[in-house]
Amino acid sequence: MYGMIHRAARQMILSSGDPAVWPQILDRAGLEESDFITGQSYPDEVTFSLIGAVAAELDLSLEETLIRFGRYWIRFADESAFAHLMKMAGQTVSEFCENLDRLHANINLSLPGVDVPSFQVRSSDETALRITYVSSRTGLEPFVTGLFEGLLVHFGQTGQVRCLGPHEGGIDFLVTLDG
Ligand code: HEM
């Protein structure tokens, strides 16, 4: 994945309570600082070994690490060079989710060849959203859960996120919104 993702992971660790763990994460993943160039694409194995090393060094499960990284990504993206895209995508969780594919399509213009997922809102009302996530990658469901949780926080909304499982070539998520 693009180095921007790696930079977000680094930022997540450096802004946490224990930044001293960062060199150990790099060591464990067999990575160097030069593997963190925003505009360069890296093999997915590099990204996955970085996330695996974060999990091991923080003594967290891979699932919990991906959830935390998803939540963090929303804050990171909102302060990145792409913050305007976050703003343009919508004023509410549901409007934003309807525009997710458009947001990623815009990113494709700046980061050529990016392999972004697709999100389709199946149903939406004031109480819940059902969204199908389609990706060429596997195993990132907890990341998506964390992303939707991060979006709830971003929009000052409380609610719950649940992965419902495979559906029509993708994976369904239910985001319930508190009244
Ligand atoms: C301005 C905001 C955002 C930016 C700049 C951004 C950018 C990116 C980039 C660069 C990748 C890596 C793809 C690659 O290198 O091939 C990616 C992957 C991904 N993005 Fe976004 N994204 C943004 C917002 C979001 C949001 C709000 C969501 C969902 C709620 C999301 C869901 C994902 C997921 C799940 C992946 C992992 C790849 C996969 O599932 O195949 N992104 N994004």
pLDDT of amino acid 34: 87
Residue 109 belongs to some domain of the structure: yes
Using pLDDT thresholds of 50, 70 and 90, give the confidence band for residue 17.
Answer: confident
Most confident by average pLDDT, 13-17, 35-39, 148-152: 148-152
Residue 75 belongs to some domain of the structure: no
Question: Which atom of ligand 1 is nearest to 111's Cα?
Answer: 10
Both 96 and 171 in a single domain?
Answer: yes
- The number of distinct structural domains making up the chain is 2
Question: Which atom of ligand 1 is nearest to 4's Cα?
Answer: 10
Pocket test for ligand 1, best of 7, 102, 104 (most atoms within 8 A of CB): 104
pLDDT tens digits, 85-101? 999 999 999 999 999 99
Mean of pLDDT values over 29-58: 95
Residue 69 belongs to some domain of the structure: no
CB 67, CB 142: distance < 8 Å: yes
| CB of 4 closer than 6 angstroms to any ligand 1 atom | yes
Using pLDDT thresholds of 50, 70 and 90, give the confidence band for residue 179.
Answer: confident
Residue 67 belongs to some domain of the structure: no
Domain of residue 36, residue span: 3-60
Stronger pLDDT, 17 or 60, i.e. the higher one: 60
pLDDT tens digits, 151-173? 999 999 999 999 999 998 999 99
**Beta-ladder partners of 172:** 132, 165
Beta strands in 65-127 (DSSP E): 118-124
For 110, the 3-state DSSP assignment is helix
For residue 32, pLDDT beyond 90: yes
For residue 164, the number of C-alpha atoms closer than 13 Å in the C-beta half-sphere is 16
| CB of 76 closer than 6 angstroms to any ligand 1 atom | no
